[in-house]
Amino acid sequence: MHSVTGDRIGITPERTAEVLGRELGTEYQVETGGGNSVLVRRGFLGRARVTVLERTGATVFEVRGQSPSLPLLMLTARIVNERGIARRVAGLIGQSEELGARR
């Protein structure tokens, strides 16, 4: 799991999805996942979940690679997505001034 802390408070999953969708481009599907999460997909296997948590004076984004619900692919896809799409999403959040990146 990748954890990124931003300086701003009150950042919603909707705002996070909007920024990520713009920054990642049309190759990725970005949508809110209900509650405090954002789902990021690229193709059939590439998936990540961003959980948006508010802490004292900051917003924490926890980014975790996900996998489709296919038993043979679950572990492998999760490991690959943790190192691939989740790392890319966490990097974008860490660089985004709109999401309160610490500079």
Query: Tens of pLDDT along 34-92?
Result: 899 999 999 888 899 999 999 988 999 999 988 777 666 677 777 887 888 889 899 98
Distances from the Cα of 77 to the Cα of 16, 32, 58, 72, angstroms? 24, 21, 31, 9
Domain residue limits, the chain: 2-97
Band of the pLDDT at 97, cuts 50, 70, 90? confident
Quote the pLDDT of residue 17. 96
Q: Which CATH class is domain 2-97?
A: alpha beta
Cα gap 57→19, rounded to integer Å:
21
The pTM assigned to this predicted structure is: 0.86
